[in-house]
Structure 1
Amino acid sequence: MGKCAMASEHEQLSETHIVGDDTQQWIVRADDCTALEQRHISHVGFGDAAVPYRIVRTRLSGAYIHGSLGGEGRMLLDGRWCTMRGGMMSFAPAHGLHAFHAVPEKRWQYCWLRYLPSAPRSVVGTIAPIMQHFDPEPMKHAILGLYSEVFHGEGDPASCVMWVDTIERYISRFADPWRRDARIVAVFDAVIPTLERHWTIEEMAEIAHVSTEHLRRISRKVFGRSPMQQLTQLRMQHATHLLATSDLPIEEIAERVGYSSPFAFSKTFKRMNGVSPSHFRLHSRA
């Protein structure tokens, strides 16, 4: 993975969408393609960016997949700013803080897919966020194939479905490897509905029928983090959803995601999202 650093706890980020004259993007939206709308996909695209290209989403409405094809950019995901270079992909869950931008004197080539809030991958409980080495070239070619069919071809519905199906199958290969391991599936099928519970790695290992050390190895292989770190990710993901979509007091949200101490919850939330829960709620409502 690229070089990463924790997001500043005091950094003030606001909703931003700057493309710039020196950035080109080829985009297909749900309004342009029925096949995208049917799959609950807002838009897909390919871009070649340069400064001042900058996107900040203080509350990402739908899950977002981003593939870095070449050059260099920076991305805020999982509470960290990371350098993105060719051969890297990321998956950002809905409702979280997400940002990326071009860097001076370098161009950045990338492709992406953004789901609608109604999409299954936007539902709270998705195993995310993810950032890892994974070749996005096939995804880029499928997106450009769809773009060509929609804007330069006949817009044939069957051909559009074929391209969208190819895009989604490729994303599944990137985002869902954990679902091929029944042990991990069993663990998180139990964990996700009960985030308020005081889970231990020993309890998780018992569900998976493996030792705690073996469960750590499996988890690091499929998620890039330990089982307890993955649990924290899921708790913070659910917390962002509750902060953005409900009026529940922060103390109650803390309890619902397994924190008896609001202070410990706020400290963890700020470490991973760069802002406090109250700051996140204020800006998501704005």
Structure 2
Amino acid sequence: MFSCEPLVAPGSRYYNYAAGALARSSLLCLQCIGLFTYLPGYQLTRRSYDSFLLEVILDGELEGESDGRPFRAVRGNAVLLDCYRPHHYASATGWQALWLHFDGPGARGYYDWITRSGGPVLAPENFEELHRSLAGLFQQFDNGPIPGEGQMAREIAGALGLLLDPPETPPGSGGLDRVLRTINENLHRELSVQQLAEQAHFSEYHFIRLFRSQVGTTPRQYIITARMERARHLLKTTDLPLETISEQVGYTSDSVFCTQFKRRYGVTPTEYRQT
């Protein structure tokens, strides 16, 4: 369909898609995809629009606000907006973009992860690959036949996957990958936050702040979760006695391990193994 929106250039076109009930409950779903040239002076303000928006900026520039946070995007940027929240964007000079409205059970998780390091604007090193990914999906609507819902979900997930670890992350945050590996490889040992901070070359205070912002929890809480998940796996897949499992996940006291396990899962390790 050709756009009849004011200050959208002639020839700009888009396609709507209504996913079935099963796809909506299970998959990432395309709602609308378009290739627009926005003319100087274009602006849009919405309190809410039930979707997430991924926009690849092909030319020009725009400025906006998403949930109270200002942003500016230029050619080579990608913009990911939570349209459930108030948002606004406009341009005095105009811009061209390939865009996609999508939603689904995992959509917010992708959004939260991709935007965790800052605002909605990203500068992906793989911009051309991202452009090709969305352009390929758009061309399928342009030329037919329309892809199946499973294929659309894969294409959307593929495009978002290119943004999962944007290059512009806070200085030193790459060290967290090494810390996470250290934790998961040494759950049987005592792991102090101070030691982990030294490995990442940060003060303990700054390390805890960075860890929480990037991982979503404190280092100590993450260690406990990792230990409990390892314990659940061992309880279900081995016949190891509780004492051995307790030692393998870093607890020198069986009673402390059992108390911690029940506090988290509502059952004792023995009860969990029997279910």
TM-score w.r.t. length of structure 1: 0.49
Contact 2:42 2:94 in 1 (8 A): no
1:54-203 superposed matches below 5 A = 54-77=43-66, 79-93=68-82, 95-103=84-92, 106-116=93-103, 118-122=104-108, 126-127=112-113, 128=115, 129-134=119-124, 135-155=126-146, 157=148, 162=151, 165-176=154-165, 182=177
> How far apart are residue 214 of structure 1 and its match?
6.8
Contact 1:44 1:114 in 2 (8 A): yes
Identity %: 12
2: CA distance between counterparts of 1:208 and 1:114? Answer: 44
Contact 2:56 2:77 in 1 (8 A): yes
2: CA distance between counterparts of 1:218 and 1:113? Answer: 36
Secondary structure of the residue that 1:110 maps to in structure 2?
Answer: strand
1:240-255 superposed matches below 5 A = none
Contact 2:15 2:32 in 1 (8 A): yes
1: CA distance between counterparts of 2:5 and 2:134? Answer: 22
2: CA distance between counterparts of 1:32 and 1:125? Answer: 20
1: CA distance between counterparts of 2:179 and 2:68? Answer: 24
TM-score w.r.t. length of structure 2: 0.50
2: CA distance between counterparts of 1:207 and 1:29? Answer: 53
Aligned residues: 188
2: CA distance between counterparts of 1:45 and 1:207? Answer: 50
> How far apart are residue 139 of structure 1 and its match?
3.2
Contact 2:41 2:94 in 1 (8 A): no
Contact 2:51 2:82 in 1 (8 A): yes
Q: Rg larger in 1 or in 2?
A: 2
Q: Which runs of 5+ in 2 are unaligned?
A: 182-191, 218-275
1: CA distance between counterparts of 2:72 and 2:145? Answer: 39
2: CA distance between counterparts of 1:54 and 1:184? Answer: 44
Equivalent residue number for residue 280 of structure 1: none
> How far apart are residue 27 of structure 1 and its match?
2.2
Call closer, same or farther: CA 1:168–1:18 in 2, change over 3 Å: same
Call closer, same or farther: CA 1:33–1:184 in 2, change over 3 Å: farther
| AA partner of residue 145 (structure 1) | G
Call closer, same or farther: CA 1:145–1:165 in 2, change over 3 Å: same
